[in-house]
Structure 1
Amino acid sequence: MQIQRLSWAGVRITVEETTILIDPLGQIDARMERLMGKQLAELTDLSALSQPSGVFITHEHADHFDAPSLLAAFGANVPIYAPAAAVENVRKTGLHNVTGLEVGERVEVGAMHVTAVPSVDGLGFPQVAWVVEGGGKKTIHCGDTLWHGFWWEIAREHGPIDVALMPINGVVLQISYLKPHSSLEAVLTPVQAVEAAYILGVKTLVPIHYDTFDNPPRFAQAERVVERVRKAAEERGVSLALLAQHEHLA
């Protein structure tokens, strides 16, 4: 299994001749830019990637489900896999080949098996994490989940897991339609990501979903996320791989 970090929460996973993408992001629309600000780092040009065997979406936020870039790069019939509750909205974008999975359901895509497992979205949208198996390896991609109590269940049912792809930006949001505003993080903090990886018993934690957008006070990333995730990983004895954009996990 080869894992390549793309931009933001996006990754590309390859096993033999099968390649899947999870939460690939090539652009943000004007509505998301008003919330998140302009990107601070380059976003992946999805049209430069080879046609995937499938695209897996953890949830339908536009920074994880970039329908315009998917349509432009791969066409309307690219296989899309999403939480079952999000299928209707995904199809409204013009993508036709959409499969919805409930938590616990599993799909075979070429040389990989992918299972939807529990995840919790900070704004109450339907979200899953994806456990990907292939080539004798297993990884979990957690979208932009916040802390929840399913880690132990996931570890029991799907362990051992080799690699965890975890958000670490600990963002605090001020969104107009969510009032009163919360002062709590809507995404895992660096310490929480390490703790989740520790409970899951993963061999390697790969941080995602950080240092690309920061637009306080509307979308405020936690401070010193890389420093804090390094410190927490060292204290917990969790192996950490900080991948640059387009870098592969060794």
Structure 2
Amino acid sequence: MSRRYSNPWPHEDHSVLSLLRWRLGRMPNDERFTTDDSPAPLVPFTPAAPPEQGWRITWLGHASFLIQGLGHSFLIDPVFADHCAPFPIKSLYRRVPPPCRIEDLPKIDAILLTHSHYDHLDLASLRTIGTDIPVVISSGHSKWLRGKGFTHVRELAWNESLELFPGIKLSSTPAQHFSARTPFDRNVGHWCGWLLEGGGVKLWHAGDTGYCPAFQEIGEKHGPIDFAMIPIGAYSPRWFMRPIHIDPEEAVQVFLDARCKRAIAMHWGTFPLTDEPMSEPPLRLRRAVAEAGLAEDAFTTGAVGQSWTLH
């Protein structure tokens, strides 16, 4: 029997019945901060070779990033599909296109996957990028990926590390979430975030997560973190989403707990996964950043296709 993973601290959980109550509108709605349902902005992006010194981080939409540094290019959770479900569902269609085509990407040296949900692991995109490219994923998924034709798959358990390339260290960080591709494989694979270290810089992708004690541990073990990618969307209704998705106010607390110097928001403005208007997360984030006394540019939102550089 396959191992089933779980979060090692107590938290609320919900059943299929709870899911039906949400979808059928049987529970109260959250307060709305805006009625504007516009997706994230899109800016032109022309992929380029990776810098030999320093790092360049490009948001490809949702939780997908192109991370380039020290002569290497990595993808985290690349999803180029026009929907994030096992079959086309109109309500889950992409609202803002990817900023480039897969064919326009530079040579990819490795793909990092946080977990198996369709909005983070898109088989069609991965196959187009290449089944022979090294893939690193959280525990429990490698056998399944090899069965799908991927030839170089490596698992990392929470807090495990490897030298991804000379001078570049990759570590798996804890998160609070779950995994599933079908109704029958819930939690047979784990979930995680990724910490990349190289050239004196620490980059952290928090993964898909609810708020949990792990973030203080990450700050104590790995902080300060130079640049973080932290989710702020897919949080409503709160009674249902709280265990698995942080809201913007919790995202700011994650920023503080993990001892981040700078962060960009992700997991918003691309796929309409939940009930909040798509333009609401940035409004709430700006307010939470101000209330926390942080500099306005410490934790911000960006545009799909936008890049940030660190030296």
Give the superposition deviation at 1:89. 2.1
- For 1:183, the equivalent position in structure 2 comes to 240
Q: How does 1:131-210 map to 2 (within 5 A)?
A: 131-172=195-236, 183-185=240-242, 186-210=244-268
Q: Distance in 2 between matches of 1:189 and 1:35?
A: 25
Segments of 5+ residues of structure 1 without an aligned counterpart are 174-181
Secondary structure at the counterpart of residue 171 of structure 2: strand
- For 2:172, the equivalent position in structure 1 comes to 116
2:60 is the alignment partner of 1:6? yes
CA offsets per residue over residues 9-33 of structure 1, 9 Å max, x none?
A: 0111112211111111110355364
Give the superposition deviation at 1:87. 1.5
One-letter amino acid matched to 2:231: P
Quick one: which of 67, 77, 80 aligns to 1:23?
77
Give the superposition deviation at 1:184. 3.6
Quick one: which of 269, 285, 306 aligns to 1:211?
269
Indicate how the Cα distance of structure 1 residues 33 and 122 shifts in structure 2: closer, same or farther if over 3 A, else same.
farther
Secondary structure at the counterpart of residue 6 of structure 1: strand
Secondary structure at the counterpart of residue 88 of structure 1: helix
Segments of 5+ residues of structure 2 without an aligned counterpart are 1-54, 180-185
Quick one: which of 89, 94, 97 aligns to 1:39?
94
- For 1:176, the equivalent position in structure 2 comes to none
- For 1:246, the equivalent position in structure 2 comes to 305
- For 1:77, the equivalent position in structure 2 comes to 132
Quick one: which of 124, 139, 143 aligns to 1:68?
124
Q: Which has the higher contact order (CA 8 A, sep 6+)?
A: 2
- For 1:177, the equivalent position in structure 2 comes to none
State the percentage of identical aligned residues.
Answer: 25
One-letter amino acid matched to 2:198: G
Q: Aligned residues, how many?
A: 239
Secondary structure at the counterpart of residue 31 of structure 1: coil
Give the superposition deviation at 1:122. 4.8
Question: Does the aligned pair in 1 maintain the 2:193–2:208 contact within 8 Å?
Answer: no
Question: Does the aligned pair in 2 maintain the 1:64–1:143 contact within 8 Å?
Answer: no
Q: Distance in 2 between matches of 1:221 and 1:122?
A: 21
- For 2:47, the equivalent position in structure 1 comes to none
CA RMSD for the aligned pairs?
2.2
Give the superposition deviation at 1:92. 2.5
Q: TM-score, normalised by structure 2?
A: 0.71
Q: Distance in 2 between matches of 1:32 and 1:139?
A: 33
Q: TM-score, normalised by structure 1?
A: 0.87
User: Which one has a bigger Cα radius of gyration?
Assistant: 2
Give the superposition deviation at 1:241. 3.0
Q: Distance in 1 between matches of 2:286 and 2:178?
A: 24
